Amino acid sequence: MSRETLTTRCCVAGGGPAGMMLGLLLARAGVDVVVLEKHADFLRDFRGDTIHPSTLELMHELGWLEEFLELPHQKAPYLRFQSGSYDVVMGDFTHLPTHARFIAFMPQWDFLNFLARKGSAYPGFHLRMRAKVTELIREGNRVVGVLADTPEGTLEVRSELLVAADGRGSTVREKAGLAVQDFGAPMDVLWFRIPRELGDPVDPMGRFENGQIFIMINRTDAWQCGRVIPKGSYEQVRARGLDAFREDLVRVAPFTADRVSAIRDWEDVKLLTVRVDRLSTWYQPGLLCIGDAAHAMSPVGGVGINLAIQDAVAAANLLAGPLREGRVDTDLLRQVQRRRELPTRLIQRMQVLIQDNVLGRALRADGLGTNGRLPWPVRLASQFPVLRRIPARLIGLGIRPEHVRSPESARM
């Protein structure tokens, strides 16, 4: 087995939305960057597929929105809450001050392939697939690179800055020994698919009934379904059997009765273990963490991808110039955390409140849909449609949305 050595300004560990966006923006600004992705391709099922208006606005700022929306996707201008006979619009994106006033549901592999294709137009963008980071390289107290396993042998990448964008199970943050605050989560999610038919509802929805919560996302020819379950109860759900699992779905969404047989066995059901955590410090000399590597988000609101992308844009805005000149100090990395920590804290706080006070209650037998009384936010949204703009703003744009400030280099 051989050993290959590369030298670059910035090495990004992880080819997910945050890593690919950062690599693309840095290369666009004239920075030499290597992105390491451990898989051979981006084809992994049940990854976050929500592209929010904040991300679509970034596509517009880069001049790519029309081309981007030529990719297969479903538009969701509204988010709905359903329980029993109640059907309430909880989020109305049509009033947002953006060029695309909807959530786009798009397979994440299409999104990442689009970013990879755009990145390849810049000579400083280098994407290495099947490169799994295994160790950090240090000189004194500074991170100066990584070692990665590839099919050809060991890859050594030396860099001015290493960015960890390798997700909630980040190898880089583990090797760096960064302290993590865990805020807990009362739930996990089981993801699966069933066929969708003409005449079915269109908008994505959350269905609450008799201690059951199902999320259903329109994927044109199929429903991508998520069943929210109490934390750690997966084996209990399996012990009840697949027939009981299918019957639970039919009770909440009766229109699925003739197609739940599409769930053939437990291999068709994927477990997402929900975590909400955040690093106390996102950086060390020569190292910065962004996205899920810095803060694992709850699936509430589907904001994790878009928050990670916002991190990437902020990092590119602050670091592109210094990286081009080869001078990135710890104070600059601290500025990235300061820029992105407040939005992260506030959104995680809201997610935990919803988890504990809405979803946790709904998972109990005495929860939503059993006493004929809807939660007060749902009642208000039903009575005062203008209030639907508030969750749409928080979900669609977030807090302190970022804009592309890093310039496009003339060197292409």
Question: For the segment 88-143, what is each residue's pLDDT rounded down to a tens digit?
Answer: 888 899 999 999 999 998 989 999 999 999 999 999 999 999 999 999 999 999 99
370-381 pLDDT, tens digit per residue, is 445 666 677 777
Among 174-178, 357-361, 376-380, 393-397, which range has the highest average pLDDT?
A: 174-178
> 3-state class of 22 per DSSP?
helix
Q: How far is CA 227 from the centre of its chain?
A: 18
Q: In whole angstroms, what is the distance from residue 342 CA to residue 56 CA?
A: 22
Contact present, 290 and 283 (Cβ < 8 Å): no
Sorted by sequence, the CB contacts under 8 Å of residue 353 that are 6+ apart come out as none
Q: In whole angstroms, what is the distance from residue 262 CA to residue 268 CA?
A: 9
**What ranges do the domains of the chain cover?**
2-75+98-183+275-364+387-396, 187-230+232-272
Mean pLDDT of 256-279: 93
Contact present, 162 and 146 (Cβ < 8 Å): yes
294-305 pLDDT, tens digit per residue, is 999 988 888 899
User: Can you tell me which residue has the tokens 């963008």?
Assistant: 125
Contact present, 149 and 128 (Cβ < 8 Å): no
Contact present, 404 and 61 (Cβ < 8 Å): yes
Closest CA to 100 of 131, 71, 76, 132: 76
Beta-strand pair 287-289/153-164: parallel
CATH superfamily of 2-75+98-183+275-364+387-396: FAD/NAD(P)-binding domain (3.50.50.60)
φ, ψ (nearest 5 deg) of residue 72: -60, 130
> 3-state class of 213 per DSSP?
strand
Rounded to the nearest integer, the mean pLDDT of the chain is 90
325-367 pLDDT, tens digit per residue, is 988 999 999 999 999 999 999 999 988 888 877 777 667 654 4
Grade residue 287 by pLDDT with cuts at 50, 70 and 90.
very high
Contact present, 277 and 183 (Cβ < 8 Å): yes
For helices 330-354 and 304-324, the axis angle rounded to 10 degrees is: 170
DSSP 89-131: EEEEGGGSSSS--SEEE--HHHHHHHHHHHHTTSTTEEEEES-
Asked which of 30-39, 45-54, 216-225, 354-363 is least confident by mean pLDDT, the reply is 354-363
Mean pLDDT of 27-36: 97
Asked which of 64-68, 77-81, 177-181 is least confident by mean pLDDT, the reply is 77-81
Sorted by sequence, the CB contacts under 8 Å of residue 316 that are 6+ apart come out as 21, 22, 25, 26, 29, 404, 406
